[in-house]
Amino acid sequence: MVDLSIMLAGFSDAFTVNNILFVLFGVLVGQLVGAIPGIGPIMAMAIAIPFTFGLNPLAAIGFLVGVNKGGLVGGAVPAILMNTPGTPDAAATALDGFPLAQQGKPLKATKMALFSSITGDTISDIVLITVSAPLAILALKMGPIEVFALMIFTFSILAGLLDKSLAKGVIAVLLGLLFATVGTSPEDYTPRLIFNHYEFYDGLPLPSVAIGMLAVAEIVRRLARPDGKLRAAISHINSNNPDDARVSWAEYWGCRFTMLRGAAIGTFLGALPGVGSTAAAFMSYASAKHASKDPDSFGKGNLHGIAAAESANSAVMGANLIPLLTLGIPGSVGAALIISAFMIHGIQPGPLLFEEQGQLIYGLFGSMIIANFCNLWLGQLGLRLWVKVVSAPESIIFVSAILLCIVGIYMSTGGLVGVYVMLFFAALGYLMTSFGYSVILFIIAFFLEPRLETSLSQSLVLLNGDVYKVVYHPVAMVLLLLAAVTLFWFVRKSIQATPTTDLA
Amino acid sequence: MFVALGLLLYFFIIPEQTDPASSMSFLAPATVPKFVASVLALMGAHLLWKPSSINKTAWKNLPRAALILAIILSGVMLMSWWGFIMAAPALALMLVWQMGERRPLWVGLTVILMPILVWLLVVFVLDRVLP
């Protein structure tokens, strides 16, 4: 168990002026980029990671957490004002937010989104802080065989949940695994698939892969739109009634059960690797509508609709860190990027993190709480400003983002080779997204492969090459059985689904 | 396509690009890549047998996406010859022009101001070098 003094030291690290300023700056950047449709917190995090290289780990990770949390709030602004979610998570928010804005209440809608987002996020953070340390202790009792079985189980969940087509999901995972094998083999340490390029001896750089597939590929996808038009600015009306520009306590309190339900759904789904915040937001929205006495008002500007979607999508963020901090398994792209940041700073995520870097982890928890306060404060101040930001032209935003990606990767990999790798993966990411292969699955598989192969190798040594001896490891057996059941369930679901054949 | 890729990897690329296993190892360097290649071929065969839907606009946008990637690639190559401060404005100009931006203020901000800001940030604030 982590010592109380380490917890307190971690929290006191978080509450230093330097760290608070980095978190505040992260939230500011996150809200700003979240408000711009097409950029979003994931791309902003991906671009920002190499720039945090020179910072101390807590400031760097606090900044990135700030970007992620700020982005969730900022993403609601274009969803409400333009019916164009800044992030996919905010799509459900647009269902009631946009009609409310059209009724002359854009500020009421954005403020409700802000308050419910922070409520859901805080509840999820509290769950993370309380359950992650005990779970990490449990995870530490697992040997290589159990870890390998857990990896198999994780992959079985990921493949089914993230793709409509199971085959495409598996192919995305396989491609991630394949590219991760470039470098050296974990058992013999001999070069593998490097094609005589010894700069790849340590494997393909994770920042190049992640930024190429998530940021550059997305920018290229947006720039390659067939219309080729620059986005238009927003136009909306503001009511003259001051009550339409604020959320009263009665209105907030009236949504408490909706927000609690949303936070519970978001936290539960967020703790499962691979279930995105978009799914949580829509599930919460549907359950709020189902529980409502007036379900017909949903979709016409009901505050409960905004509260349900925002509390759930924000709750996913904290819960996503549960598998990351306890098992080293990223639950989402945001979590995978936080892993990249950990690795850039020489920290290996996983169950040993609490033992080896307990102070840093509790510092991270403190930073998350600070980020929530910053989000509330900056959100109150900045919402009017973000409304203006929504209308910034894409030309300056995307070109600047491309330059930052190139410079960031150049700095983190120490040369242009990393930039060429980034461009290769941007092309691959573009193709995968265009043809329906999940980039998220690819990146998570790419990250997990070294651990999967190492644990397989260690398991084979422990079992002396006799795989049947796995029956003497009950936890591993249960996990493998669960993996088999999950895979069977998804395969059956995939077979039952009617495919639409269209290869034009 | 995945069938061909899987078979090519399994029979030619992986054996060529991996060393044989040592006598002590349980997991040869080629085992995982070969397993991946074989399942890739199987999944490719599955997609041939039961194809899933493909967004038609994906093919339509492909040449434009290739052009944008080629512009970025040429910009990066220019950086290796001319350095960031000379090549970044050229790259930015090619991209904004391709996007259809013609307003002088936004073109100027993007092509001149942004590369200078990035350069100042990296060289003076972060104290790092650029190509």
Give B18-37 pLDDT, tens digit per residue.
888 776 778 889 999 999 99
pLDDT of residue A504: 31
Could you read off the pLDDT tens digit of each residue along chain A, which spans 504 residues?
567 888 889 889 889 999 999 999 999 988 887 777 656 677 778 778 877 877 888 898 889 889 888 887 887 777 777 666 655 667 778 788 888 888 888 888 888 988 998 999 999 999 888 888 887 777 777 788 888 888 888 777 665 555 567 788 889 989 999 999 999 888 888 889 989 888 888 899 888 888 888 788 888 988 887 655 555 444 555 666 777 778 888 999 999 999 999 999 888 877 776 556 667 787 788 888 878 888 888 888 889 989 998 898 888 878 888 888 887 777 677 777 888 788 878 787 777 788 788 888 899 999 999 999 998 998 888 777 776 666 667 788 788 888 988 988 888 788 899 999 999 999 999 999 888 888 878 887 887 888 888 889 889 888 888 888 888 888 889 989 988 888 788 777 766 664 544 333
The structure tokens listed for B86 are 């000379």
pLDDT of residue B42: 93
CA distances from A450 to A336, A454, B89 (A): 14, 6, 40
> Closest Cα of chain B to A426: distance in Å?
8
Q: Which of A34, A117, A83, A45 is nearest to A332 (CA)?
A: A45
pLDDT of residue A338: 82
Rounded to whole angstroms, how far apart are CA atoms B97 and B85? 19
pLDDT of residue A412: 78
Q: A239: phi > 0 → left, psi -120 to 50 → alpha, else beta; which?
A: beta
User: Could you tell me if B88 and B121 are in contact, meaning their C-beta atoms sit under 8 angstroms apart?
Assistant: no
For B:88-107, CB contacts with A below 8 A are 88, 91-92, 95-96, 98-101, 103, 106-107
What distance, in Å, lies between the first and last C-alpha atoms of chain A?
58
Residue B116 in contact with partner chain A when CB distance is under 8 A? no
Rounded to whole angstroms, how far apart are CA atoms A113 and A310? 6
Residue B64 in contact with partner chain A when CB distance is under 8 A? yes
Write the CB contacts of A149 (distance below 8 Å, at least 6 apart in sequence). A470, A473, A475, A476, A477, A479, A480, A483
The structure tokens listed for B17 are 């690009």
ipTM: 0.95
Determine the residue among A166, A174, A204 to mutate to test chain B binding: the one whose Cβ has the most chain B Cβ atoms within 10 Å: A174
pLDDT of residue A426: 94
pLDDT of residue A189: 83
Write the CB contacts of A435 (distance below 8 Å, at least 6 apart in sequence). B54, B55, B58
Q: Which of A66, A162, A175, A73 is nearest to A114 (CA)?
A: A73
The structure tokens listed for B102 are 């013609």
User: In a 10 Å sphere around its CB, with 0-12 CB exposed, 13-18 middle and 19+ buried, how is residue A471 labelled?
Assistant: exposed
Please name the helix (run of DSSP H) or strand (run of DSSP E) that holds residue A191, with its range, or none. Answer: strand A191-192
Size of interface A-B (CB pairs under 8 A): 205
Find the CB nearest B68 among A224, A453, A460: A224
pLDDT of residue A423: 96
Residue A17 in contact with partner chain B when CB distance is under 8 A? no
Question: What is the DSSP secondary-structure string of A43-95?
Answer: HHHHHHGGGGTTS-HHHHHHHHHHHHHHHHHHTHHHHHHHS--SSGGGHHHHH
pLDDT of residue A500: 45
Q: Test A226 with B57 for CB contact under 8 angstroms.
A: yes
Q: Test B115 with A221 for CB contact under 8 angstroms.
A: no
Residue A168 in contact with partner chain B when CB distance is under 8 A? yes
Kindly provide the b/e burial profile for residues A217-231, where b requires at least 16 CB atoms within 10 angstroms of the residue's own CB. bbbbbbbbeeeeebb
- Report residue B103: phi and psi, to 5°: -70, 120
Using alpha carbons only, give the angle A163, A173, A208 rounded to the nearest 5 degrees: 110
> Closest Cα of chain A to B96: distance in Å?
6
This prediction has a pTM of 0.77
Mean pLDDT of chain B: 88
Write the CB contacts of A241 (distance below 8 Å, at least 6 apart in sequence). A104
Q: What are the beta bridge partners of residue A184?
A: A191
Residue B56 in contact with partner chain A when CB distance is under 8 A? yes
Q: Which of B3, B92, B91 is nearest to B40 (CA)?
A: B3
> Closest Cα of chain A to B105: distance in Å?
11
pLDDT of residue B36: 95
pLDDT of residue A419: 94
- Which residue is listed with tokens 């209308």? A391
pLDDT tens digit sequence for B35-74: 999 999 999 998 888 787 766 777 888 999 999 999 999 9
SS3 A329: coil
> Closest Cα of chain A to B68: distance in Å?
7
The single-letter code of the amino acid at B27 is: L
Q: What are the beta bridge partners of residue A191?
A: A184
User: Could you tell me if A148 and A459 are in contact, meaning their C-beta atoms sit under 8 angstroms apart?
Assistant: yes
Rounded to whole angstroms, how far apart are CA atoms A204 and A207? 9
